[in-house]
Amino acid sequence: MRKLLLASAIMSSSVSASLMAAPVINEVDSDNPGTDTAEFVELYDGGAGNTSLDGYALVFFNGSNDTSYMTIDLSGQVTDSNGYFVVCGDAANVVNCDLDVSPDSNLVQNGADAVALYQAAASQFPNGSAITTNNLIDALVYDTNDGDDSGLLPLLNTGQPQVNEGGAGDKDSHSNQRCGERVARNTDGYQQLVPTPGTVNACGGVDPDPEPTLGECGDPTVEGYALISAVQGNITDISNDASPLSGQKVIVEAIVTADLQGGTLANGDASYQYSGFWLQEEASDSDGNDNTSEGVFVYDYRNVVNVGDKVRLMASVAEFNNATQLKSVDELVVCSSGNDLPTAASVTLPVASLEALEAVEGMRVQTNQELIVSDLFGTGYGFGNYGQFVVSSKLHYQPTEIALPGSAEALAAAEARPLDVLLVDDGVSASYPSFIPFPDDSGFSADNPMRIGYRVRDLEGVMHGWRNNYTVIPSNLTIDPTAPRTLEPVISEEADLVVVGMNVLNFFNGDGQGGGFPTSRGAPSYDAFTMQTDKIVAALTAMNADVVALMEIENDGYDANSAIQDLVAALNTQQQPGNEYRFVNPNVDAIGSDAISVGLLYRSAKLSPTGETVILNSDNSPVDENGDPLFIDDKNRPSLIQSFDYQGETFTLSVNHLKSKGSACNEANEGQDGQGNCNLTRTKAAQALTQFLATQPTGVETDKVMILGDLNAYSQEDPMQVFYGDGFTNLKYTDKASETKPFSYSFSGFLGSLDHALASDGLVEHVVSVDAWHINSVEDSMVDYLTEANGQSYNSVDNYASADAFRSSDHDPIVVGLRFENSAPMLKEDIPTLSLTGLDQEVELDLGEYFVDANGDELTYQVQGLPAGFSVSDEGVITAELSDASFDHLPATVSVTVSDGRDSVNTEFDIVDNRPQPSPWQRIIDFLTWLLGLIFGRF
């Protein structure tokens, strides 16, 4: 129906001028489709206009307990020139909204509930306030097909009814609108009609403009007929992209280009999908304006249509989550079927402005370039929740990963990404769909993952709007699994020592005996903890490190039931004998006061701790110019510092987890330069750490120092500049790194490194490889250890966890290969020939006298080819107990291999028979003796 003026002529003649100016509640929309993002409350002063609302407050009451749940202070506000004032949750979805308040969605509860207008201070109505009629100006008690709430009805005049927003059969598309006499606290005149925020209510009566009729297919002359381009409008400002025909009823005729009214998914499950379809004008009906879209979404699942149908329909124009749509379809006819689809519009990323994407909203589109999966979190709901992922023309890196904070380059990087993203959606609007058709038709699974870095070709589909995102629902899509999973990190073959830094994402083990779940963090059940353990152990086993620095492990000490003991025990079940791990025990009950801490594991057969185990905290921190500690340990986790001895070489390792960017630290201009919260706290911690390490705190004198861990700072931020200035090198940005643009974390569609390995000059020369093993940051959280079966806290379809390394954390581990220069054993002089002179000879040959090792390494000896009766000791001493058999295979050449554990040298020496030879007469006598023995032996 066309809107009718609430003419003052229908008002009671007894209403005074002062009453006419008093505002009342004129319209309330408490229920919309989906997440209720277009809810509003409209006040009306009777047409006086520009009425001050100082001293007024809107109070919202919940029918579940008949107390208030929200109060909005109207002081400082005025009605518009026509007398209207609109309060809404999201002005992007409500035209004529004067006051946009939080939250954006589900602002007004659906009912049975109430909204009341008081001439009183808002402070008098804290949440939980009971209803009162003191200073009450007007009220509406309403529902959406619910029973009456007797506890709220006293807000109304005696005998006045509770109002049902679903009274006309369409609670989602109607609002409650005051019609008839404007008497405060009276509700008997309310009607349920298409919303009219900030304009005249669409009340019933004599309609001077009768509702249009659908007309015949192909007839553009009927009242209300409109081209889709007119419905979408000529949009030149992305902040004002609502349809100019919003709220009006129109007749359109176009081709169905996509049908997602509901149906069967690829795995056979039924889904209501988007509960609608898309229409697009034929080329002949295009308006030729590149700024206007020729396509639109129709929210309708009652009328059966098919792709290729030309349909004619009558529906209302509306906005939903920033997308123009047609809804409340009154009539629909199929004019013809099997029509060719309109040609898809070409979209190239990045776009010059978002208006370029708005101009194809609702249309068929195709990309003419290879795109890359750049994010799995999408709109904040994520890949698993709504089956969405983000594609871009390239991967985007955190501005402060690649440029100094506040620099022109950093600002340009931040501004570039919004113009280089498209959402790709599975076409199912339900959260946690049972089947996600990516990366291919077999569907997402633990062993068929979606990963950042996959390439996307042949993307074609319809463009849909979703809040501030533009979404392609594909009809044709090819995803190439480039940048696939790898089974182990990149480690140089030259490395003889491997050091790893790994965030274990709140590894909490309950009471250490299988109970005590849920814990304050981490796994909510023992089954979840078992899966978490299996994934972390799988990752650590594949990395095969000699030293492991841990972050985010439970800070519960080091006894038999501690988290670190639990992890080491599980890890050692996967190790070969002699390769087991131990943990560094600093002999304290906890490291600092945080729930999580850092830890250190090492293979005792490979290297050994040396010197003191030291913890840097506020008590022993270097101080600033005011005498205050630089290292604040109730923000940063204390640093664990240990020196190690490896075959005569010593180095010191500092394990760190600095303050996150999440919660604030009350610093000046906090977060305004792109470095997030607590940048100053982290910067001071970096100063403290380098100054403290310079004092050789473990008591071991070494120029080989590594700072390892989650520093919560991207590579160009202030804390990192402190490290660089004090002589530490970021190993991920050296020629030993496995990638030119390293990263270990993904956040809001940007990649970056929060996890670092920094080395002093004395250690850098020993680095032979550096890798961020991408097992976590590029994987979706659906494959982590939490599932709906083991205790996650929300309803979903999630059974994707597998006992493998992937998504064992949200940070990638950093893997550093080291090689310490070694002097191989050398042969000082040739080993002389060993001459055997008789059975009574004493044999002893010390091989150690012939070899030297410049490093003083302990040598091992392998000897092959020794005759019978010979043996060699671990120290390389050859001895023999000679017998006739010892001489049977002489002369013999003996091979000797001498090793220092890393390098070896080979040589040979001879053993000969040098016994005295008998005289000729003695040989004759020996022959005759033998012959006589042979003769008489036969008889």
Q: Looking at residue 99, which CATH number applies to its domain?
A: 2.60.40.1260
pLDDT > 70: percent of the chain: 96
Boundary-marking domain end, from 451, 480, 509:
480
Spatial separation of the C-alpha atoms in residues 89 and 36, rounded to whole Å: 9
- Rounded to two decimals, what is the model's pTM? 0.73
Q: What are phi and psi of 616, to 5 degrees?
A: -90, 120
Q: 365 and 472 in contact (C-beta within 8 Å)?
A: yes
DSSP-derived 3-state class of residue 54: coil
Can you give the pLDDT at residue 212?
Answer: 75
Residues 263 and 177 in one domain: no
How would residue 3 be classed by pLDDT, with cut points 50, 70 and 90? very low
H or E element in which residue 530 lies: helix 526-543
**459/380 same-domain check:** yes
Task: State yes or no: pLDDT of 11 exceeds 70.
Answer: no
Q: Long-range contact list for 568-577, CB < 8 A, 24+ apart? A: 568/601, 570/533, 570/537, 571/537, 571/540, 571/541, 571/601, 573/537, 574/537, 574/541, 575/541
- Whether residue 12 is predicted with pLDDT greater than 90 in this model: the reply is no
Going from the C-alpha of 653 to that of each of 328, 759, 845, the distances in angstroms are 67, 9, 44
- pLDDT of residue 259 exceeding 50, the answer is yes
**Cα separation, 161 vs 153, whole angstroms:** 8
Q: What is the pLDDT of residue 1?
A: 29
Q: What distance in Å separates the CA atoms of residue 282 and residue 339, rounded to the nearest whole number?
A: 10
Among residues 426, 430, 485, the alpha carbon closest in space to that of 454 is found at: 485
In the chain, % helix, strand, coil (3-state, to 5) comes to 15, 30, 55
Where residue 566 falls (left for φ over 0; alpha for ψ -120 to 50; beta otherwise) is alpha
- Domain termination site, one of 166, 193, 220: 193
Question: Of 677, 690, 657, which is closest to residue 555 (Cα–Cα)?
Answer: 657
Which contiguous run of DSSP H or E holds residue 327? strand 323-336
Q: How far apart are CA 2 and CA 249, in angstroms?
A: 8
Region of residue 185 (left: phi > 0; alpha: psi -120 to 50; beta: else):
left
Print the domain residue range for 68: 8-193
Read off the pLDDT of residues 307-362 as tens digits, 9 standing for 90 and up: 999 999 999 999 988 899 999 999 999 999 999 999 999 999 999 999 999 999 99
Give residue-wise pLDDT tens across range 688-720. 999 999 999 999 999 999 999 999 999 999 999
Whether residue 766 is predicted with pLDDT greater than 80 in this model: the reply is yes
604 and 632 within one domain: yes
474 and 515 both lie in a single domain: no
CATH number at residue 852: 2.60.40.10
158 shares a domain with 82:
yes
Which DSSP helix (H) or strand (E) runs through 928? helix 920-938
- 330 inside domain: yes
* Domain shared by 115 and 184, yes or no: yes
| Cα–Cα nearest to 197, from 321, 45, 29 | 29
Q: Do 122 and 52 have their domain in common? A: yes
* Residue matched to tokens 């080819």: 865
Q: How confident is the model at residue 934 (pLDDT cuts 50, 70, 90)?
A: confident
Q: Give me the CATH number covering residue 459.
A: 2.40.50
- Using alpha carbons, select from 506, 548, 397 the residue that is nearest to residue 809: 506
Maximal CA-CA distance, the chain: 162
541 with 601, same domain: the answer is: yes
Return the higher-pLDDT residue of 16 and 137: 137
Whether residue 259 lies inside any domain: the answer is yes
Amino acid at 888: D
Q: Tens digits of per-residue pLDDT, 87-109? A: 999 888 899 999 999 888 889 99
Same domain, 584 and 528: yes
Q: Cβ distance 454 to 482 under 8 Å?
A: yes
Q: Are residues 813 and 843 in the same domain?
A: no
pLDDT-derived band at 276 (thresholds 50, 70, 90) equals very high
Q: Mean pLDDT over residues 814-831, rounded?
A: 92
Beta bridge partners of 599: 550
The pLDDT of residue 2? 29
Looking at the fold, whether 325 and 381 belong to one and the same domain comes out as no
CATH number for the domain spanning 296: value is: 2.40.50.140
In tens, the pLDDT along 571-616 reads 999 999 999 999 999 999 999 999 999 999 999 999 999 999 999 9
Cα–Cα distance between 517 and 458 in angstroms, integer? 48
Does the pLDDT value for residue 155 go beyond 60? yes
Per residue in 433-454, pLDDT tens? 889 999 999 999 999 999 999 9
- Among the three residues 818, 851, 870, which one is the final residue of a domain in this structure? 818
How confident is the model over 881-932, as pLDDT tens digits?
999 899 998 999 999 999 987 789 999 999 999 988 777 777 777 677 777 7
| Percent of the chain whose pLDDT exceeds 90 | 80
Q: Which tokens belong to 829?
A: 């002089």
pLDDT tens for 456-466 read 999 999 999 87
Radius of gyration of the chain (CA): 40
Residue 934 lies in a domain: no
User: Residue 929 domain-assigned?
Assistant: no
Cα 606–610–613 angle (5° rounding)? 120
Confidence of residue 855 (pLDDT cuts 50, 70, 90): confident
pLDDT at 925: 77
Rounded Cα–Cα distance for residues 737 and 490 (Å): 9
Q: pLDDT value at position 206?
A: 41
Residue 488 lies in a domain: no
Residue 130 is assigned to a structural domain of this protein:
yes
The pLDDT value recorded for residue 792 is: 85
The token pair that represents 135 in the structure block: 């200073």
Cα(329)–Cα(313) distance, integer angstroms: 7
For range 59-78, the mean pLDDT: 94
For the stretch 487-498, pLDDT in tens is 999 999 999 999
Q: What's the pLDDT score for residue 288?
A: 92
CATH number of the domain residue 756 falls in: 3.60.10.10
Q: What is the mean pLDDT of the chain?
A: 92
Pair 49, 111 in one domain:
yes
pLDDT at 434: 86
Q: In what order do the strands lie in the sheet with 649-657?
A: 608-616, 637-646, 649-657, 705-710, 755-759, 729-730
Residue 490 in any domain: the answer is: no
Neighbours of 897 (CB within 10 A): 14
In a domain, residue 933? The reply is no
* Token reading at 131: 């209803």
For tokens 């620095």, what's the residue? 549
The Cβ-side half-sphere exposure at 121, using a 13 Å CA radius, reads: 3
For residue 907 the two structure tokens come to: 């040589």
Mean pLDDT score, 508-535:
97
Given pLDDT bands bounded at 50, 70 and 90, which one contains residue 796? Answer: confident
- Work out the average pLDDT over 167-193: 91
User: How many domains in the chain?
Assistant: 5
Structure tokens at 143: 């529902």
Q: Is the pLDDT of residue 737 over 60?
A: yes
Residue that wins the pLDDT comparison between 735 and 647: 735
